């Protein structure tokens, strides 16, 4: 199986069977966001305790890229210290600009790297991470960070 096909398979699998879909009983952070570029919607809920993202769930609707990205993101950040989750968010944004620094660290998220070639879809892939950014880092990040 070609790598592109494998990645497409991962994306479609997460789109069809999103992981961590739903809502938390006692979220510490709730962010609701709409992507003006293609109408994607997400409600991201986090439970942060002792500086660790102990739980994350989302609901929403939208294109396959945004939904798969949200699903992959929750899998990637659960159990991570907030600082690591923020570092991963920055790494993901860089990956979307073609700068994949640490493939191992990005894990399954690498399946979305190919989206970087399609600027219109980058907004969809980054969208759930933008919700995470707003939840965890109140300050505005410059686009190149």
What is the C-alpha R_g of the chain?
Answer: 14
* 46 closest CA partner among 12, 11, 73, 8: 73
Q: Is 67 in the site for Zn ion (CB under 5 A)?
A: no
Please report whether residue 63 would count as binding Zn ion according to CB under 5 A: yes
Name the strand (E) or helix (H) holding 108: none
Nearer to Zn ion, 20 or 67 (CB): 67
**Whole-angstrom Cα distance, residue 83 to residue 6?**
30
Stretch that binds Zn ion, among 2-10, 30-38, 52-60, 88-96 (CB under 5 A): 30-38
Return the number of the residue (38 or 43) whose C-beta is nearest Zn ion. 38
Size of the site for Zn ion (CB under 5 A): 6
When the beta carbons of 8 and 80 are compared against Zn ion, the nearer one is 8
Q: For Zn ion, which is the closer residue by CB, 120 or 141?
A: 120
Inter-helix orientation angle 119-136/82-96, to 10°: 160
**Helix H or strand E segment including 76:** helix 64-77
The verdict on 66 binding Zn ion (CB under 5 A) reads yes
Q: Does 42 bind Zn ion (CB under 5 A)?
A: no
């Amino acid at each position: 199986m070609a790598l592109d096909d494998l990645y497409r398979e991962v994306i479609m699998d997460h789109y069809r069977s999103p992981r961590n879909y739903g809502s938390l009983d006692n979220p510490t952070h709730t962010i609701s966001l709409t992507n003006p570029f293609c109408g994607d919607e997400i409600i991201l809920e986090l439970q942060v305790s002792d500086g660790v993202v102990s739980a994350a769930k989302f609901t929403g609707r939208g294109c396959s890229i945004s939904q798969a990205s949200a699903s992959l993101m929750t899998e990637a950040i659960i159990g991570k210290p907030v600082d690591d989750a923020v570092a991963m968010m920055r790494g993901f944004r860089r990956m979307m600009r073609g700068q994949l620094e640490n493939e191992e660290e990005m894990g399954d998220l690498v399946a979305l790297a190919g989206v970087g070639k399609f600027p219109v879809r980058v907004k969809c892939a980054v969208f759930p991470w933008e919700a995470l950014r707003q939840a965890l880092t109140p300050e505005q990040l410059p686009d190149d960070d």
